[in-house]
Structure 1
């Protein structure tokens, strides 16, 4: 039978209230008394109930995270970094994979609030405006939106500078002598997809390069989306010498489709991705890409969340993450083609 707080109090010769104050650090207790209580708790292998503790100190030391899918390598790697940060800070992470489905997203949101998590991290592409408005309207549940999801003056938001990332990609291709550049991206209702397309168009126009309409292809952010996008690009009357692709999962799917069609990369077609997922360095050829600093994103999300939990405030803040170029082997100079 597990020891109770009364057992600890009896062995230490103090009241249960004193034991509670020592274990929860909610009031000053003399050092000698603290030592007796801690020694008694250790001898009895006493483990306080997390539920009971949460009722007293008003928190559960747990965070919820809504993510579109853990099958996409970017999300999988990001979740891993978030979990590391949570563990380091003494928090449990309740992960909810929405699969981009609105009904699942709403159901998970209700479940997380019922479990009294201390806050919710959001990185998903499907959500219900009225439900988020209801939660945000309570002004008592901290939320940190990690790039995708709802925007509100109350929530904190950490966003990748996707416009700059696209500029870096196109600038690198231009430096390698490319002028005929295509773009394959995700659904334009998603903010990163829109921003990356905007950045692509801006960079092309600034370099006085033509944006060919049939070389701008909207697909989705998964491997299959890249495959289908490349198939559409290869059906065009003329082909580009390079293509900027909206994320690494799509880029790998696209490269696979191109190679199956007899296109040599980078000899016949240069490819640059976005995200710098772990797998991109081991693809054939290794993928040149724009790095989203996932470790930094996770650290900022958790530190921002803890700050809001410990010091509640009514206004949200925006934090912008700056991407950088990672050069590998999937881009060739035009002079070598």
Structure 2
């Protein structure tokens, strides 16, 4: 049996030529001035690798496609459908279309989708993570590809516009609220700490508690992954602690909901045993038992504002960073123990 030859991608060409995928796209589609030396390197790599561009994409890139790409990490997380709806409602209102790509939090998938979108002549890209790598984002920006980061701040990428909730302030609000209810021992189930949103929520929570005189030994940090499955597992980790907290702050609602399931299975009553607070205010957070107290961010509005800023950049205007205020939503998953 003859093995099928793996198709050469635009990323393979970029690696061979020592340039970004966006530069390869611009050389092949003749959409921008590229130095003769760079053009020769790209064309040599194309020849050496026998790369065959998508003819449809090649034709499309000669003009605006009035389409943008939104790359998300986990379509099963209820945060992202609401975000995508905000993006789509805005872009469709101004005559653009949306291509949604789900990466399952895998860097290789994110790279593949970036390549696909560039080949399809996308006008701009929206990222919800930086798993693809900061260097790739910098290359895209340097090559004039409009990009925006949604839901978190970039830390080392100059010129990358972002739309975000003040995650540090949200963490502070959670800490202040739980302390005000009389709690003395706390746990935080964090998101991935390579994610600036996760780090900022953690930092705000700890700083708020320390300002109230809570000792470091009375704050337990358990690292997780922003998923319901991660929250379910982390609830088990909490139950295994030698000294149990009375209040738990989850870095997002999805993890808090996963934990509620685990506690229900273990016949642990919430909030009688643990006071629980989440972050996001996804729609289902008010429907679980008990309804989840949470730190709200305007997810739909984040999507709309992200789309607005990206389209401004596409159309030659200056995009501006946007920081939204978080808000406490009190429901029935916390109790006062004073």
Matched, 1:147 2:151: yes
Q: 2:316 aligns with which of 311, 315, 330?
A: 311
Tell me the TM-score normalised to structure 1 length: 0.79
For the residue of structure 2 that corresponds to 1:215, the secondary structure is strand
- How much does 1:196 deviate? 0.9
Aligned match of 1:238:
243
Change (3 A) 1:303 1:237: same
Structure 1 vs Structure 2 CA RMSD: 2.2
Matched, 1:73 2:78: yes
CA distance in 1, matches of 2:105, 2:57: 31
Mapping of residues 247-258 of structure 1, within 5 Å: 247-258=252-263
CA distance in 1, matches of 2:225, 2:286: 22
Aligned match of 2:123:
118
- How much does 1:124 deviate? 2.4
- How much does 1:76 deviate? 1.8
- How much does 1:130 deviate? 3.0
Change (3 A) 1:214 1:312: closer
* Largest Rg, 1 or 2: 1
CA distance in 2, matches of 1:260, 1:212: 29
Matched, 1:320 2:323: yes
Does the 8 A contact of 1:158 with 1:320 survive in 2?
A: yes
Moved more, 181-190 or 120-129: 120-129
- How much does 1:214 deviate? 7.1
CA distance in 2, matches of 1:73, 1:154: 29
Q: 2:213 aligns with which of 208, 211, 215?
A: 208
Q: Residues 189-236 of structure 1: CA distance to partner in whole angstroms, max 9, x if unpaired?
A: 111111111011101101101233772111111011111111111111
Q: Residues 158-183 of structure 1: CA distance to partner in whole angstroms, max 9, x if unpaired?
A: 12211100111111112222222211
- How much does 1:134 deviate? 2.0
CA distance in 1, matches of 2:190, 2:219: 13
Aligned match of 1:329:
332
For the residue of structure 1 that corresponds to 2:194, the secondary structure is coil
Matched, 1:227 2:232: yes
Matched, 1:292 2:297: yes
Aligned match of 2:189:
184
Aligned match of 2:200:
195
Q: 1:90 aligns with which of 95, 99, 115?
A: 95
The runs of 5 or more residues in structure 1 that have no matched partner are 1-49
Does the 8 A contact of 1:289 with 1:326 survive in 2?
A: yes
Mapping of residues 98-109 of structure 1, within 5 Å: 98-109=103-114
- How much does 1:55 deviate? 6.8
The runs of 5 or more residues in structure 2 that have no matched partner are 1-55
Aligned match of 2:280:
275
Aligned residues: 282
Tell me the TM-score normalised to structure 2 length: 0.78
